[in-house]
Amino acid sequence: MIRCVKCGCSRLDSRGMGCVLCGGSPSVRSEQVHVTDETKIKLLAHADGLKTYGVLVEEQRTFRKVAGALEAFGIGLAVADSLNSGVLRKLVLFLRDLAIPEEDILRLRLDEPGTISEVLRVSKTIKKKTTKKTKSAKNTPKKAKTTATAKKTKNKAPRTTR
């Protein structure tokens, strides 16, 4: 499947030359992804973790098309054409937990940018709700057992069954 190198969108303009959303050029998934060097290093370091989601990370040697430029390294991802929505969600959250920025997650061309952004947005709201609950639970005082309740539990004889 062909997707934009900047945002991951699969919709092309009327001429079929650029992305409808951002004007970026189209590319197949197996080609080099255009992410930051920090993201490349994180993806290569966690290649085994990404394999569990069906993503193979490949290091590629590339030459820049500028006079006097040296060889650079890039990475390519081998991903199925379509991922199950549950697997895609887990994969996106895994990438977020690796501290990969949303812009770079979009540039990995995993799915439509709206789908990826929605997964990240929903996970942020869920995360905020759970942190509010844990903070409020920590602030409430715990009830201490009164001495009368403690004495009752000590004096009770264990039940026997017939």
Total domains present in the chain:
1
Tell me what pLDDT residue 100 has: 92
Region of poorest pLDDT, from 92-96, 124-128, 153-157: 153-157
- The answer, yes or no, to whether residue 91 has pLDDT greater than 70, is yes
List the domain range (segments joined by +) for residue 29: 2-133
Model confidence over 5-58: pLDDT tens digits?
888 888 888 887 888 888 888 887 667 778 888 988 898 899 888 888 888 888
Which residues, in sequence order, are CB contacts of 66 under 8 Å at separation 6+? none
Inside any domain, residue 156: no
Is residue 74 in some structural domain? yes
Residue 154 lies in a domain: no
Residue 9 lies in a domain: yes
138 occurs within a structural domain: no
Name the DSSP class of 23. -
Q: What is the pLDDT of residues 97-116, one digit of tens each?
A: 999 999 988 888 888 888 88
**Which H/E stretch holds residue 39?**
helix 37-45
- The residues pairing with 60 across neighbouring beta strands, listed in sequence order, are 74
Q: Is residue 152 part of a domain?
A: no
> What are residue 28's DSSP bridge partners?
2
Residue 151 in domain: no
Q: How deeply is 7 buried, as exposed, middle or buried, from its count of CB atoms within 10 A (0-12, 13-18, 19+)?
A: buried
Q: Is residue 162 a part of any domain in this protein?
A: no
